[in-house]
Amino acid sequence: MTETTPVVLLVLALLLAGPAPALLARSRWPLRAPRAALVLWQAVALAAVLSALGAGASAGTLVVGHPAPSWWLLVLHGASLLLTVVVAARLLWSAHTLGMTLRARRRRQRHVVDLVGRSDGRAPGAVVVDVAPALAYCIPGVRPRVVVSSPTLEALDEAEVDAVLAHERAHARARHDLVLEGFGVLHNAFPRLVRSSVALDSASGLVEMLADDAARRRSGAVPLARALARLAHAPVPAGALGSGAVTPAVRIRRLAPSSMESRIPVGLIAAVAYTVAAALVVVPTVAVAAPWLAALTRAAQLP
């Protein structure tokens, strides 16, 4: 480990918290491989946090172990240590407050729909509520609820209702709420000046596309596209899963077979994305953490 290690990690953390997400958000390939894109987004977020924490930890080790640190070394490493303390504190606080808020909100929502909802043979397994707007959403959790309104059942045919239910059940089955909660915690952990909302927004859109793919496999692309068009402006309660950052128009277009055609196979795109995701987490660890641990071991062995 060298004196530049904390600075390198600090710069990497800032790049992964701002410019890198902005660049990834402008890419079009996630529409073809949403699962691989979501894994890559998770790797970017995790690598940003690990880099920020590693910057402060390595800075503290260098300053404490240096016989006569210069003023610039103290300043640079002090900045790295400060960022680490801020990120760690905000990470813990965000995980607590966001988790408590979401779970309380969803408990209230489940209680309300259980009180006013009813079963309907046209939407098996779902809770039907008699409210004015056409809507469909999932209240996630250990005991999730798929909620649809009676106007939705009137507006959609049987195949379209089946597609909507398959979409919402895919959210519940895959626990997309936990994925988005993790992105929300990491988003709030970074200071406002260096964080970006594009990772959270993009993840929200990607889980919608994953649920769309599950519904397409069960019910077909045409019924799903028609249902998306008719529920394009359906409201969704805060904390529930229903519509993401990707607009219904984009989601409908990607259901068309021609939208998935490309000279680059989707399998290759996914393989590259998974490789980059692994490298983002593994390479900094091997290049930085291993030498750091080796230096600590040598220092501990000194008489």
pLDDT band at 66 (very low <50, low <70, confident <90, very high): low
Residue 3 has pLDDT above 70, yes or no: no
H or E element: which one contains 130? none
Q: How many domains does the chain have?
A: 1
Question: Would you say 21 and 198 are in contact if contact means Cβ atoms under 8 Å apart?
Answer: yes
Q: Tens digits of per-residue pLDDT, 267-284?
A: 899 999 999 999 988 877
Residue 213, CB half-sphere, CA atoms under 13 Å: how many?
15
What is the reported pTM? 0.84
Q: Tens digits of per-residue pLDDT, 80-108?
A: 677 677 778 888 998 999 999 999 999 99
User: Average pLDDT of 249-273?
Assistant: 82
Rounded CA-CA distance 293/162 in Å is 55
pLDDT band at 49 (very low <50, low <70, confident <90, very high): confident
Q: Among candidates 210, 160, 159, which has minimal Cα distance to 180?
A: 210
User: Average pLDDT of 219-232?
Assistant: 92
The residue among 75 and 25 whose pLDDT is bigger is 25
Residue ranges making up the domain that contains 190: 5-301
Where does 153-252 show beta strands of DSSP type E?
Answer: none
